[in-house]
Amino acid sequence: QVQLVESGGSLVQPGGSLRLSCTASGFTLGRHTIGWFRQVPGKEREGVSCISPSETSTYSTDSVKGRFTISRDNAKNTVWMQMNGLKPEDTAVYYCAKLRWAYCGSRYLTSSNYDSWGQGTQVTVSS
């Protein structure tokens, strides 16, 4: 069965760093774009970044550009998101998800385009 499992979330101080991991099974990771999303209670799920299968295309939303970097190793069935310079407004549950296709860009970073989701990992940024 298709599974995506996030890990790496924790409580960090403002300005700190975390690396989130997304490990996939049950499908060929190298054939799909993977996206990262985040959600705060009472708010809509927000697209954060995506990466195409061969890393030809990556995209990050304006609020995290220059701070977050997405990468992947298809042989390891893993996608990472390195988060630097964390801010309190980055606090959320972070999810990885599988896109139905192999594209990446702002138009594809909407939750309706993704057909499989992980369980989420909590990131809390607080002093």
Provide the pLDDT for residue 101: 87
Over residues 112-126, mean pLDDT: 96
68-82: average pLDDT: 96
Distance separating alpha carbons of residues 76 and 60, to the nearest angstrom: 23
SS (H, E, C) 34-58: EEEEEECCCCCCEEEEEECCCCCCE
Q: What is the pLDDT of residue 72?
A: 95
8-12, 70-74, 79-83, 99-103, range with the lowest pLDDT: 99-103
**pLDDT value of residue 55:** 74
CA–CA distance, 42 with 87 (Å, rounded to integer):
19
pLDDT of 12-71, one tens digit each?
Answer: 999 999 999 999 999 999 999 999 999 999 999 999 999 999 877 999 999 999 999 999
17: Cβ contacts below 8 Å, ≥ 6 apart: 82, 83, 84, 85, 86
pLDDT tens digits for 87-112? 999 999 999 999 988 999 999 999 99
